[in-house]
Chains A and B, each alone.
Chain A
Amino acid sequence: MPADALSRVFSALADPTRRDIVARLTDGDATVGELAEPYEMSIQAVSKHLRVLEDAGLVTRSRQAQRRPVHLEAEVFDLMTKWIERYRRRAEERYRRLDAVLRSMPDITEMPDITQPETGEES
């Protein structure tokens, strides 16, 4: 099911540690130990994150090599990033139109409130 596949990739990328792992893998393959180094978490915890990324199709691990380096499937990552970016851009376009609407509105903080009777003190 394509929607399930997308959900897995979305969920995988929603976690900041996993996003960081993916960002570091864009520089090149790395072992679990190398990936775990900058984090204050166990190798097991990092392995768990990697399993989520692997299930989503974002990373693969070589079965042959002894070091079993983790490899980023850049094409999957690019597709997802593009998708989210398109959604973000549409929201940004909408809010730029809202910016223009807001600019055209009278600045209510500087306008005298004509609905109030003039009994208050001047300021």
Chain B
Amino acid sequence: MTTANTHQTQIVLDPDVPLVRIIREFDAPPEQVFSAHAEPELVVQWLAPRGYEIRIDHYDCRSGGSYRYVHIDDDNEYGFRGCFHEVRPSELIVQTFTFEGEPDGVALEKLVLEDIGGGRTRLVATSLVDSFEGRDAFVASGMEDGIRQIFERLDELLAG
């Protein structure tokens, strides 16, 4: 088994529709990559951003199921929830995603797993939101401090 990872994460921001796409290859077959997304005891091991703990309230990864989990830092809890719209083991997860702090906003997420041979998998994760502003805020979430500076600087530059 090779642990060398020659395929770094790629990010694609679509110009025509407000979506962000993440592409990444894994040294594991689709069955395993799917399990790591579908089984809560595996999901908790990798999903939370650095500096946060994750607590899963429920996580029922099958067509018609739903999930809710919270990211926890020293002071706060941030809730996320959604529905699993369509789930096909080892192939596909279509789900919604809402940050409870902005309950009117929802992203439609599609995760496609492709067997690329040699026990490897290409993952293509697409998040579609309802506006470009929403998409860009989505990309920016979790790095507000840095982004605020960038916003301000960009405002200055574009005004000049």
Contacts and interface: CB of A to CB of B under 8 A. Distances in A.
Interface of A: 1-7, 9-15, 57, 73, 75-76, 79, 82-84, 86-88, 90-103, 105, 107-109
Given A73-B157, A98-B46, A99-B5, A2 B143 contact: no
Given A2-B151, A14-B14, A88-B11, A100 B157 contact: no
Interface of B: 1, 3, 5, 8-15, 20, 22, 24, 26-29, 31-33, 35-36, 42, 45-47, 49-50, 119, 132-133, 135-137, 139-140, 142-143, 146-147, 150-155, 157-158
Contact of B45 (A11, A90, A92, A101): A101
8 contacts: A5-B154, A14-B15, A79-B154, A88-B10, A90-B143, A98-B33, A99-B26, A109-B29
Contacts of A103: 3, 28
A7 B132 contact: yes
B28 to A, nearest CB: 4
B49 A90 contact: yes
Given A3-B137, A98-B46, A101-B42, A84 B11 contact: yes
Contact of A108 (B10, B31, B135, B154): B31
Given A14-B14, A83-B150, A84-B11, A102 B27 contact: yes
A94 B133 contact: no
A91 B36 contact: no
A93 B46 CA distance: 9
A87 B32 CA distance: 25
Contacts of A76: 154, 157-158
B140 A83 contact: yes
B46 A101 contact: yes
A57 B36 CA distance: 42
Given A86-B143, A92-B9, A109-B119, A6 B46 contact: no
